[in-house]
């Protein structure tokens, strides 16, 4: 059964601004490696003219688009090329999502099941015969490494070990932790709480949190994404009404989806929430600039780090905040890599039909990392982390975890009393 919301020509206003300069095509990571992809100019504004007359002009090769939005960053005329392509996929694709696509997209359901038996799940997903079966039957490429599941969800840790302590604060923020923190890597959420508490802020979780829906949108399940998005928006609105200064995140992809894809693609009203919803690194930079907080760092922290700008960080223009914070750490030797797509694009790179293309797209970035030879790579996107760790062997950390590791907690608390 098809699961898509009907959108009536919502891009009709945008495509006429295209002057056919083809700059977007130069910056498209798929066009660089895939001769069968028509490229953003043709797949976006050009073919939209035809699709508006006859939906049969929809071309299944549009599914090769990563939705990285690098074409939109490049376009000098503000054409929302990536949105035009995504809208066409939502509106015109006649292919129902497969069982594989539904499994990859339902991160909340799969994560809840997997964390219940995490050691068994991790063991099974690491076995060669299991990978072989997933490859042959489910078409999930056997080379792909799955992120490990945690034995305890972040939410469980928070309720047991951190919630009571939050009552000691007078200023608060809400936290959208996302699926990765909840099911795979609670430490990132713990690092976030550590930093906010040291800065004098208590942390509240949202009353209800659902997966942001990025993987649902990518896999043709936009109606489900919209339902989940409406739950998230209602919870965030409540969180802000209750006095939390902002709703913070530690994932660039979740942030971009909820700020921009909700309103532009899913037509979810996020007015009044969007301006309060941001990455933790942006919020911390704002507080520092306004003289409201200070950070102190350990003198014995030393690390050589290369920063990778994830595609959605590039689209939001927010890499500057994570980079600025990392540059404040005296013992951190930072190289900012040239911004290039890593190729995974969430669930895209897990699919057998995309795996080789995904690795080709990421190859120039992997070379850059190897040339710098850092102790670790920093990035704000968890799926970039999986791709870079698997393809280069270098460990990857979220900037929040690096800041938490380098932070002199007692001194920071003193400074923010």
E strand or H helix that includes residue 3: none
Report the first-to-last Cα separation within the chain, whole angstroms.
Answer: 57
Smallest gap from residue 361 Cβ to ligand SF4 (A): 9
Smallest gap from residue 224 Cβ to ligand SF4 (A): 22
Smallest gap from residue 64 Cβ to ligand SF4 (A): 7
Q: Binding marks (x or -) toward ligand SF4, 35..64, rule CB under 6 A?
A: -----xx---x-------------------
> Of 72 and 209, which CB lies nearer to ligand SF4 in the complex structure?
72
Distance CA 282, CA 255 (A): 11
174 lies in the site for ligand SF4, by CB under 6 A = no
> Of 21 and 113, which CB lies nearer to ligand SF4 in the complex structure?
21
CA 107 to centroid of chain Cα atoms:
13
> Of 69 and 177, which CB lies nearer to ligand SF4 in the complex structure?
69
Smallest gap from residue 347 Cβ to ligand SF4 (A): 15
Half-sphere exposure of 195 (CA within 13 A, CB side): 29
85 lies in the site for ligand SF4, by CB under 6 A = yes
214 lies in the site for ligand SF4, by CB under 6 A = no
Q: For residue 271, give every residue at least 6 positions away whose Cβ sits within 8 Å of its Cβ, in sequence order, or none.
A: none
**# of chain residues touching ligand SF4 (CB under 6 A):** 27
E strand or H helix that includes residue 154: helix 154-161
> Of 70 and 303, which CB lies nearer to ligand SF4 in the complex structure?
70
69 lies in the site for ligand SF4, by CB under 6 A = yes
Residues 14-33 that bind ligand SF4 (CB under 6 A): 18-24, 28-30
CA distance to 12, 21, 259, 272, 282, per residue, from 249 (Å): 33, 36, 11, 17, 10
Q: Which of 77, 143, 274, 413 binds ligand SF4 (CB under 6 A)?
A: 77
Buried b (16+ CB within 10 A) or exposed e, 355-377: bebbbebbeebbebbeeeebebb
Residue 44: beta bridge partners? none
Q: Which of 93, 103, 148, 154 is nearest to 126 (CA)?
A: 148
Q: Which residues contribute to the site for ligand SF4 (CB under 6 A)?
A: 18-24, 28-30, 40-41, 45, 65-71, 74-75, 77, 79, 81-82, 85
């Amino acid at each position: 059964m098809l699961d898509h919301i009907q959108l009536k020509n919502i891009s009709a206003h945008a495509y006429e601004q295209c002057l056919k300069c083809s700059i977007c095509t130069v910056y498209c990571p798929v066009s660089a490696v895939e001769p069968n992809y028509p490229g953003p100019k043709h797949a976006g504004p050009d073919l939209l003219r035809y699709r508006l007359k006859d939906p049969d002009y929809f071309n299944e090769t549009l599914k090769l688009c990563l939705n990285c939005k690098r074409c939109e960053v490049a376009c000098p005329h503000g054409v929302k090329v990536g949105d035009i392509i995504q809208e066409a996929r939502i509106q015109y694709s006649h292919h129902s999502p497969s069982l594989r696509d539904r499994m990859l997209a339902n991160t909340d359901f799969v994560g809840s099941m997997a964390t219940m038996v995490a050691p068994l799940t991790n063991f099974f997903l690491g076995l060669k015969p299991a990978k072989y079966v997933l490859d042959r039957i489910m078409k999930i490429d056997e080379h792909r490494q799955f992120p490990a599941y945690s034995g305890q969800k972040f939410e469980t840790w928070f309720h047991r070990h951190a919630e009571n302590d939050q009552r000691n604060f007078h200023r608060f923020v809400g936290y959208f932790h996302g699926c990765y923190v909840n099911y795979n890597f609670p430490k990132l959420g713990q690092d976030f709480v550590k930093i906010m508490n040291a800065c004098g802020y208590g942390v509240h979780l949202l009353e209800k949190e659902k997966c942001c829906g990025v993987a649902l949108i990518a896999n043709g399940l936009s109606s489900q994404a919209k339902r989940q998005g409406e739950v998230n928006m209602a919870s965030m609105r409540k969180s802000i009404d209750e006095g939390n200064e902002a709703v913070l995140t530690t994932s660039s992809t979740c942030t971009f989806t909820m700020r921009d894809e909700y309103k532009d693609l899913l037509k979810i009203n996020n007015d009044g929430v969007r301006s309060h919803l941001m990455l933790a690194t942006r919020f911390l930079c704002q507080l520092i600039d306004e003289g409201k907080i200070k950070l102190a760092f350990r003198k014995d922290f030393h690390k050589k780090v290369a920063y990778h700008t994830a595609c959605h960080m590039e689209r939001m223009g927010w890499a500057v905040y994570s980079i600025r914070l990392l540059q404040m750490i005296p013992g951190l030797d930072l190289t900012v890599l040239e911004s290039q797509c890593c190729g995974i694009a969430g669930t895209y790179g897990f699919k057998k039909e995309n795996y080789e293309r995904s690795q080709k797209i990421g190859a120039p970035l992997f070379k850059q990392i190897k040339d710098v030879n850092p102790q670790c790579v920093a990035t704000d996107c968890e799926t970039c982390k999986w791709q870079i760790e698997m393809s280069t062997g270098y460990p990857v950390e979220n900037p929040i975890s690096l800041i938490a590791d380098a932070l002199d907690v007692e001194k920071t608390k003193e400074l923010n009393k």
